[in-house]
A and B are shown apart, each in its own frame.
Chain A
Amino acid sequence: MNVHARDWDAFVTPAEEGAVHMDLAVEGITCAACMGEIERGLSRLPGIRKARVNLTSQRLAVDWDTGQTGADEIVAELSRLGYTAHPFDPASQKDRQDQTGKNLLRCMAVAGFAGMNIMLLSVSVWSGNATDITPETRDFFHWLSALIALPTVAYSGRPFFKSAFTALRAGRLNMDVPIVIGVTLAVGLSLIQTMQHQHHAYFESAVMLLFFLLVGRYLDHNMRGRTRSFAENIAALKAEVAARIGSDGSVREVPLSKIKPGDMVLVMAGDRVPVDGVVFDGRSEIDQSLVTGETILHAVGKGAQVYAGTLNGDGTLKVRVSTATGATLLDEVNRLLETATQAKSLYVRLADRAAQLYAPIVHGAAAVTFAGWMFAGADWQPALVIAISVLIITCPCALGLAVPAVQVVASGQLFKSGVLLNSGDAIERLSDVDTIVFDKTGTLTTAEPCLLDNGQLSYELLALAGRLALSSRHPLSSALVKASGALRPFGSVSETPGAGIEATVDGVALRLGSPAFCSVPDAEIGALLKMHPGASVIAVKHGAEPAVLLPLRQSLRQDAAAVMRELSGLGYQLEILSGDRKGAVRAVAEELGLANWQAEVKPGDKIAHLEALKQQGRKVLMVGDGLNDAPALAGAHVSLSPVTAVHLSQAAADAVFLGDKLQPVADALQISRRARKAIEQNLWISALYNVVAVPIAVAGLVTPLMAAVAMSASSIAVTANALRLRWGEGGSTRSEL
Chain B
Amino acid sequence: MDVLIYLIPIALFLGLLGLAGFLWSLKSGQFEDLEGAKWRILEDDDLDGSAEKKTGEG
Contact = CB atoms under 8 A, between A and B. Distances in A.
Interface stretch (A52-60, A80-88, A178-186, A411-419): A52-60
Given A54-B33, A55-B39, A56-B33, A102 B19 contact: no
A116 B26 CA distance: 20
Contacts of A710: none
B39 A113 contact: no
Given A32-B42, A105-B26, A134-B1, A113 B18 contact: yes
A56 B32 contact: yes
Interface in B1-35: 1, 4, 8, 11-12, 15-16, 18-19, 22-23, 26, 31-35
B36 A106 contact: no
Contacts of A110: 19
B45 interface: yes
A40 interface: yes
A717 interface: no
Interface in A103-130: 105-106, 109-110, 113, 116-117, 120
A162 B23 CA distance: 22
A31 to B, nearest CB: 8
A720 interface: no
Contacts of B15: 113, 116-117
A31 B31 CA distance: 19
B49 to A, nearest CB: 15
Interface string A20-56: 0000000000011001100010000000000001111
A55 B26 contact: no
B43 interface: yes
A144 interface: yes
Contacts of A102: 26
Contacts, number: 52
Interface residues of A, number: 24
A137 interface: yes
A40 B45 contact: yes
B43 A36 contact: yes
A interface, over-half SS: helix
B interface, over-half SS: helix
Contact of A109 (B4, B22, B43): B22
Contacts of A56: 32-36
- Counting chain A CB atoms within 10 Å of each CB, which of B4, B15, B36, B43 scores highest? B36
B26 A117 contact: no
A113 B33 CA distance: 23
B9 to A, nearest CB: 10
B17 to A, nearest CB: 10
Nearest to B12: A117
A102 B16 CA distance: 19
A660 to B, nearest CB: 26
Given A134-B1, A137-B1, A144-B8, A105 B39 contact: no
Nearest to A43: B45
Nearest to A40: B45
Contacts of B11: 117, 120
Nearest to B32: A54
Contacts of B16: 113
Nearest to B27: A102
B36 A36 contact: no
Interface of A: 31-32, 35-36, 40, 53-57, 102, 105-106, 109-110, 113, 116-117, 120, 134, 137, 140, 144, 148
- What are the 8 closest A-B residue pairs judged by CB atoms, nearest first? A32-B39, A55-B36, A56-B35, A54-B33, A113-B19, A55-B35, A56-B33, A109-B22
30 contacts: A32-B36, A32-B39, A32-B40, A32-B42, A35-B39, A35-B40, A36-B43, A36-B45, A40-B45, A53-B33, A53-B36, A54-B32, A54-B33, A54-B36, A55-B33, A55-B36, A56-B32, A56-B33, A57-B33, A102-B26, A105-B31, A106-B26, A109-B19, A117-B11, A117-B12, A120-B11, A134-B1, A137-B1, A144-B8, A148-B12
Given A54-B32, A117-B15, 8 more contacts: A32-B42, A35-B36, A36-B43, A54-B33, A105-B26, A109-B23, A109-B26, A110-B19
